[in-house]
Chains A and B, each alone.
Chain A
Amino acid sequence: MDLTRLPNDKKLQLCRWYFKVGCLLLPFVWAVNAVWFFKEAFMKPPYDEQKQIKKYVVMSATGAAVWVAALAVWVTVFQLQRVAWGPTGDSLSFIVPLGRA
């Protein structure tokens, strides 16, 4: 896809679609949306739909950032508490690193 060739209303549509899909636990889509439309939202000379695109880009970016933070917190907590949680921690583990001699 080449954004520069899209008419403005299609851009807005696409941006909104990406944002909506991102709500299905897909923060990666949000991140892509934010990066992809960043130039459209902030660098281009103003046009009618830009305000809305800006809104979606900002929301996508914050959403993705929140998800990343949440994931980081979860991973840290899990790795620190895995032993303490006993069987629960074990059953949640996908890979348990092997010790080295």
Chain B
Amino acid sequence: MSDTGSESEIEEATEHTALMDGHIAEARPDREIAERIARKRKTKSDNQQSYGSVERTEGGASGAAGTSASNPPPPQPPADAQIEELELKYGARHVIKLFVPVTLCMLVVVATISSINFYSVKDVYLAYTPFHEESPYAVTKVWNALANSMILLSVIALMTVLLIVLYKKRCYKIIHGWLILSSLMLLFLFSYLYIEEALRAYNIPMDYITLVFVMWNFGGMGMIVIHWKGPLRLQQAYLIFIAALMALVFIKYLPEWTTWAVLAVISIWDLIAVLTPKGPLRILVETAQERNEPIFPALIYSSTVMYCLAATTPPPPGEPRARELRPLHPHGRGTADERRAARESGGAGDAAGFDAAWQARAQQQRRLRVDSSQPPRYTTRLERSPAPAQQPALDDEEKGVKLGLGDFIFYSVLVGKASSYGDWNTTLACFVAILIGLCLTLLLLAILKKALPALPISITFGLIFYFATRCVVKPFADALAAEQVFI
């Protein structure tokens, strides 16, 4: 080792700051991020050639420092390493905390799809998808699907912009109105449709009085718990149910190929909206951060209570910054969620093809729907205080992972769609692929520490697994079974 101790210390310091910068630095598309990480490592290795392996973990650095006799190992790096390790551990725990709700949501959708015919029969379509893919030719179907998904996407983008404008102008009442309207539609109208079909499928007798009573109770409690205060578990349950309901609406009312095209397009849009410097979601998040505001509770699933607290109670003046920052981030997601929710409500209205008066009303809601389409941008974020070591007491409470409801919806759409063909291998493959994608996203989150789009990795994996299983694995397995070959 030719380096003197002081040099190594300096290097460590720069390394440290570089890492910190990394968190703050502007978001870029995943590939670029990966490249950047690689580059960072390279440069580090260049700087620290004498150290041999270029591990950036503090342990390695401190060890190197220790070798230089003159200086005692700087205290910071080990602490830093511990923090990072802690964060990763926290991340791991939260990954599992997110697995449960995502799995539950998918389970609801898959169970519904496989037991209730209504949701896999194609008869009515959303107004956003004017091309119904009725031609027998694949080429026509493909361009139909692409056109449909582009229409949907442009609606989403438009609504996003509208939302940003509203948010920038501080029209919170309008935004909240949208959210409440869309959750009302989901909780009453779509739940009504769901209950009707479920009862019909299971042949359970029901009278109107009981039905109205149950719906009123279910919806009323949902509105209270989502938009006001309520037990966290109940709120999570309602959010999961809402997401599942929305996913079912998409599965039911989007034409076959369009569904797949929409999934692909939406995940790309998610990537762009969250990570580009001028991406709409990014602007939203930044605005929210500037204003230090809590998120709209209706739009985000959070694994811990803190979010609720942050949202419901104005931050005390003396409170540390870390806390204030978090709520802001959620905001960005929240808007996305809202849009989704709006979308859901709007989409459902169109899809259901109700009478003219209803449709006229629905037109207003369409905008909402569009908004909701934005949800795809929901970002998963691990909330952390910037300087966890400084406020350990607060840390525990504040850490948590938030996942936009839109993520839930599109994950479930993919798995539900896969299950609608009745092949359990494909369904399981998609399910596993999405969970792996979620893991990777959360890992990236722990590394990059900023809002990330949760759709791209998961949906890409899901699509690959779906088509691979359906076109390659299944025929192969069938052939093996037919020939009685056991591997």
Contacts and interface: CB of A to CB of B under 8 A. Distances in A.
Nearest to B230: A1
A19 B305 CA distance: 23
A82 B208 CA distance: 12
Which of A25, A74, A95, A96 has the largest number of chain B CB atoms within 10 A? A95
Contact of B220 (A26, A82, A98): A26
Contact of A2 (B196, B203, B205, B309): B309
A2 B213 CA distance: 29
A21 B224 contact: yes
B34 to A, nearest CB: 38
Interface in B176-235: 196, 199-200, 203-211, 213, 216-218, 220-221, 224-225, 229-232, 234-235
Contacts, number: 81
B221 A29 contact: yes
A32 B234 contact: yes
B312 interface: yes
Interface in B99-128: none
Which applies to chain A's interface (DSSP): helix, strand, loop or mixed? helix
**Interface size range on B against A:** 20 to 34
B207 A94 contact: yes
Contacts of B312: 1
Which applies to chain B's interface (DSSP): helix, strand, loop or mixed? helix
Contacts of B217: 25-29
B10 to A, nearest CB: 44
A95 B205 CA distance: 5
B231 A32 contact: yes
Contacts of A1: 229-232, 235, 305, 308-309, 312
B7 to A, nearest CB: 48
Which 3 residue pairs across A and B have the least CB separation, nearest first?
Answer: A28-B217, A2-B305, A94-B206
Interface of B: 196, 199-200, 203-211, 213, 216-218, 220-221, 224-225, 229-232, 234-235, 305, 308-309, 312
